[in-house]
Amino acid sequence: MFRRLLSGDLPRSRVLACVLAVICLGLLFTPFVFPGARALNVAAKICTFVVLVSSFDLLLGYTGIISFAHTMFFGIGAYGVAIAITRMGPTWPAVAAGVGAALAVSLVLSLVIGLFSLRVKALYYAMITLAVATAFQTLASQLSDFTGGEDGLSFKVPELLSPGFSFSERPFLGVSLNGRLISYYLLAAATVALFLVMLRIVNSPFGRVLQAIRENAFRAEALGYRIVVYRTCSNVLSAAFATLAGALLALWLRYNGPDTSLSFEIMINILLMVVIGGMGTLYGAVLGATLFIVTENYLQDVMKLASHGFAGVPLLRDLVNPDRWLLWLGLLFILSVYRFPFGIVGKLRAKARRAT
Amino acid sequence: MSGPLLQLAGVHTHIGAYHILHGVDLEVSRGELTVLLGRNGAGKTTTLRSIMGLWHVSLGAIRFEDEDISALETPEIARRGIAYVPENMGIFADLTVCENLLLAARGARRAEDIDPGRLELIFGQFPALKRFWQHPAGLLSGGQKQMLAVARAIVEPRKLLLVDEPSKGLAPAIIQNMVGAVRELKRTDTTILLVEQNFNFARQVGDRVAVMDGGRIVHVGEMAALAADEALQQRLLGLSLAAHQ
């Protein structure tokens, strides 16, 4: 049953299985174990980025395509929901229309980019996607009547998901049972469902061909597979999942703007998450996203504690000053890439393989 | 159907600015194993890749079962029943042995979907593949990788197998295994065009031989006749069988 749910792709390492279980349980019980808006926001961001990073891994890790337009599809999803709700009101049909329209735009764009560009070499494809993504970001900022420009769009969500909605007067384990809680669990359930669908895709015959293409396109073609068709399908699928991740983020934040879903910084972050977690394994996306987002959000707190601890040591006190958190974040990631060239999942699986 | 299964007539191939094949004429008969011999750079691999559509033919015709396939794309050519075993152990290292075979067995989703008769043939010839069935192919030894590459080409019945230097980089004992495997393959009536530099290997498996030099076929004949004629070997290949033993 469990094996079937995971499409036969088990973690294949006890340590990895334990870490994944801790992450899943942590996300499941966040509202009760870590009460407060901050922890819930971090958990929701992890859920969204698990879908986004997994969809990017489908492209980079499984097909070997380097694209810088992934956040564009993420942004399309977020803008789809934001624009639809702003124009049609906070209703479920508006959410459905926004998601549907965003998916349609993403499918057309990814298909066109794929068919016209995936014949060229990887580096040129990366450049093309970079140009398209930059143009889209500028467009989103310029069409302010439609997208809210640089300010973005703040909107209400359907009543069931709004913080004002309460389905029980009495709090449960000290947590008020409101629309925010429903939002979080809907987001978590959608994350699990989308992740399992992607796991099914990469472990299907289609996924096998993608991996063969990544390793040697020439050989895969000699076996009779149409490389451009498979690459384009992978591009379209990956764009669709990124769009859905964007829609989930917008619904959670009740806001969308260029910096929230389209910025190049997000693109670099998801690239780092894939590399740190381990390319070509969706579990790597879970680990990479969790590690990155938790570090990004809590490193300053840890450094503040350390700074107090080293108050009497002049140089060390300055080094661990919370203002220098970006320096430490950078160092941590350089170290993790250096220490785990195949990502954390790659390292854990190799260790488990050697042990058997 | 009579006549050759594969026929190359005046095939020219350019790779970028380089003119590699200068009018190759070759016929491969049904059920036979034809060996393509020649020095490095003679155009043997380019001939196989041109047949497979991996390099586009600039002039001439390649006819397979009386159909001109020279303008077809590689996937179309593969669908007509031609399989290519590239040199240098052309396997997919990140995939398991099972997944490598599933890729070649079109329409098979799981190992159970592969023709049991074919699997029996493969495991009979290459028992190591059964032992490492769920292991990543990249962890196999050089010989086992080459076996997997051949197994991938025969996991489904093919009309024509193009095999590029199966003995390259293999230890002598493993080469003998490969000889046995190729002979077994011949018993399935598969037509094979095999590129080889190891003449000792070639003479043990070949029915007919074509020798290439400078992008052209310079000799065609029975393998047994070439194996028995040292003077001819010296003239065509600059070697004698004795030197290879």
Residues A326-348: pLDDT tens digits? 888 888 888 888 888 889 999 99
Selected residue of B49, B79, B103 to mutate for chain A interface (largest A Cβ count, 10 A): B103
Contacts of A211 in chain B (CB under 8 A): 92, 94-95, 99
How far is Cα A170 from Cα A166, in angstroms, rounded to an integer? Answer: 10
Instruction: Write out pLDDT tens, residues B139-173.
Output: 898 888 888 988 888 888 889 999 998 888 778 87
- The beta-carbon neighbor of A208 closest among B83, B86, B103 is B103
Contacts of A212 in chain B (CB under 8 A): 92, 95, 103
List Cα–Cα distances, A292 to A21, A217, A243, A264, in angstroms: 18, 32, 21, 16
Q: What integer pLDDT is reported at residue A309 of this predicted model?
A: 86
**Encoded tokens for A144:** 């302010």
Which residue, B5, B47, B33, B20, is CA-closest to B209? Answer: B33
List Cα–Cα distances, B43 to A195, A213, B40, in angstroms: 49, 26, 8
Contacts of A222 in chain B (CB under 8 A): 52, 54, 74, 78, 84, 86, 90
Residues B83, B160 contacting (CB under 8 angstroms) = yes
Over residues B213-235, mean pLDDT: 89
Task: For chain B, give percent helix, strand, coil, nearest 5.
Answer: 40, 25, 35
For residue B92, give how far its alpha carbon lies from the nearest alpha carbon of chain A (Å).
Answer: 6
pLDDT at A60 over 50: yes
Element (H, E) at A154: strand A153-154
Contacts of A346 in chain B (CB under 8 A): none
**Strand, coil or helix: what is A148?**
coil
Q: What integer pLDDT is reported at residue A94 of this predicted model?
A: 97
Q: What integer pLDDT is reported at residue A38 of this predicted model?
A: 92
Q: What integer pLDDT is reported at residue B157 of this predicted model?
A: 85
| pLDDT classification of B242: cutoffs 50, 70, 90 | very low
The predicted complex's ipTM stands at 0.81
Q: Is B92 on the interface with A (CB under 8 A)?
A: yes
pLDDT at B239 over 60: no
List Cα–Cα distances, A316 to A259, A303, B232, B236, in angstroms: 34, 11, 81, 77
- The beta-carbon neighbor of A223 closest among B78, B99, B108 is B78
How far is Cα A31 from Cα A41, in angstroms, rounded to an integer? Answer: 10
| pLDDT classification of B190: cutoffs 50, 70, 90 | confident
Q: What integer pLDDT is reported at residue B61 of this predicted model?
A: 96
- The beta-carbon neighbor of A205 closest among B73, B102, B152 is B102
For chain B, give the mean pLDDT: 88
- For position B86, which CATH number holds? 3.40.50.300
Numbered residues of chain A with Cβ closer than 8 Å to any chain B Cβ? 204-205, 208-209, 211-212, 214-216, 218-226, 280
Q: What integer pLDDT is reported at residue B57 of this predicted model?
A: 95
Q: What integer pLDDT is reported at residue A282 of this predicted model?
A: 95
| pLDDT classification of B72: cutoffs 50, 70, 90 | very high
Specify the range with the lowest mean pLDDT, choosing from A76-85, A165-174, A241-250, A317-326: A165-174
pLDDT at B240 over 60: no
Selected residue of A221, A225, A231, A356 to mutate for chain B interface (largest B Cβ count, 10 A): A221
- Is B195 part of any domain? yes
pLDDT at B27 over 70: yes
Q: Which fold has domain A2-355?
A: ABC transporter involved in vitamin B12 uptake, BtuC (1.10.3470)
**Encoded tokens for A56:** 């990017």
Q: Are B104 and A223 within 8 A, CB to CB?
A: yes
- Is B21 part of any domain? yes
| Amino acid of residue A106 | S
Q: Is B9 on the interface with A (CB under 8 A)?
A: no
Instruction: Write out pLDDT tens, residues B85-137.
Output: 887 767 899 899 999 999 988 778 888 889 898 899 889 888 889 999 989 89
Q: Are B78 and A215 within 8 A, CB to CB?
A: no
Specify the range with the lowest mean pLDDT, choosing from A82-96, A199-213, B104-118: B104-118
Chain centroid offset of residue A65 CA: 17
Owning domain of residue B84: 6-94+158-244
Considering only residues B5 and B237, tell me which one the structure prediction assigns the higher pLDDT.
Answer: B5
Helix segments in chain B, DSSP class H: 44-52, 74-79, 97-104, 116-125, 127-131, 142-154, 172-186, 199-205, 223-228, 230-237
Q: Are A219 and B90 within 8 A, CB to CB?
A: yes
Over residues A343-354, mean pLDDT: 89
How far is Cα A9 from Cα A283, in angstroms, rounded to an integer? Answer: 10
Q: Is B56 on the interface with A (CB under 8 A)?
A: no
Q: What integer pLDDT is reported at residue A196 of this predicted model?
A: 97
- Is B12 part of any domain? yes
Token pair 């001109």 is at which residue?
B68
Q: Counting Cβ atoms within 10 Å, is residue B3 exposed (0-12), middle (13-18) or buried (19+)?
A: exposed
Over residues B210-225, mean pLDDT: 92
- Is B63 part of any domain? yes
Question: Which residues fall within 8 angstroms of residue B164, CB to CB, at 6 or more apart?
Answer: B44, B45, B48, B84, B85, B86, B87, B195
For chain A, give the mean pLDDT: 91
| Amino acid of residue B196 | E
List Cα–Cα distances, B88 to A219, B45, B129, B141, B147, in angstroms: 12, 12, 18, 12, 11
In the DSSP assignment, the letter for residue B55 is S
Task: Tally Cβ neighbours within 10 Å of residue B124.
Answer: 11
pLDDT at B245 over 60: no
| pLDDT classification of A151: cutoffs 50, 70, 90 | very high
Instruction: Write out pLDDT tens, residues B201-214.
Output: 999 999 999 999 99
Q: Is B150 on the interface with A (CB under 8 A)?
A: no
Domain boundaries, chain A: 2-355
Specify the range with the lowest mean pLDDT, choosing from A162-176, A195-209, A276-290: A162-176
Q: Are A215 and B94 within 8 A, CB to CB?
A: yes
Cα nearest neighbour of A353 on chain B: B135
- The beta-carbon neighbor of A226 closest among B75, B103, B108 is B75
Strand B33-38 to strand B191-195: parallel, antiparallel, or no bridges (unpaired)? parallel
Cα nearest neighbour of B149 on chain A: A219
pLDDT at A238 over 70: yes
For residue B230, give how far its alpha carbon lies from the nearest alpha carbon of chain A (Å).
Answer: 37
Considering only residues B143 and A143, tell me which one the structure prediction assigns the higher pLDDT.
Answer: A143
Q: Is B143 on the interface with A (CB under 8 A)?
A: no
Considering only residues B61 and A176, tell me which one the structure prediction assigns the higher pLDDT.
Answer: B61
Q: What share of chain B in percent tops pLDDT 90?
A: 49
List Cα–Cα distances, B186 to A5, A94, A142, A194, in angstroms: 44, 65, 68, 49
Q: What integer pLDDT is reported at residue B92 of this predicted model?
A: 92
| pLDDT classification of A120: cutoffs 50, 70, 90 | confident
Q: What integer pLDDT is reported at residue A147 of this predicted model?
A: 93
Q: Are A212 and B93 within 8 A, CB to CB?
A: no
The torsion of the CA quartet A108, A112, A118, A120, rounded to 10 degrees, works out to -160
Residues A77, A92 contacting (CB under 8 angstroms) = no
Strand partners, B9: B61
| pLDDT classification of B58: cutoffs 50, 70, 90 | very high
How far is Cα A231 from Cα A239, in angstroms, rounded to an integer? Answer: 12
Q: Is B104 on the interface with A (CB under 8 A)?
A: yes
Q: What integer pLDDT is reported at residue B89 of this predicted model?
A: 66
Domain count across chain B: 1
The number of CA neighbours under 13 Å toward the Cβ of B115 is 14
Over residues B53-67, mean pLDDT: 94
Interface of B with A in 177-236 (CB under 8 A): none
Task: For chain A, give percent helix, strand, coil, nearest 5.
Answer: 80, 0, 20
Cα nearest neighbour of B75 on chain A: A224
Contacts of A220 in chain B (CB under 8 A): 92, 103
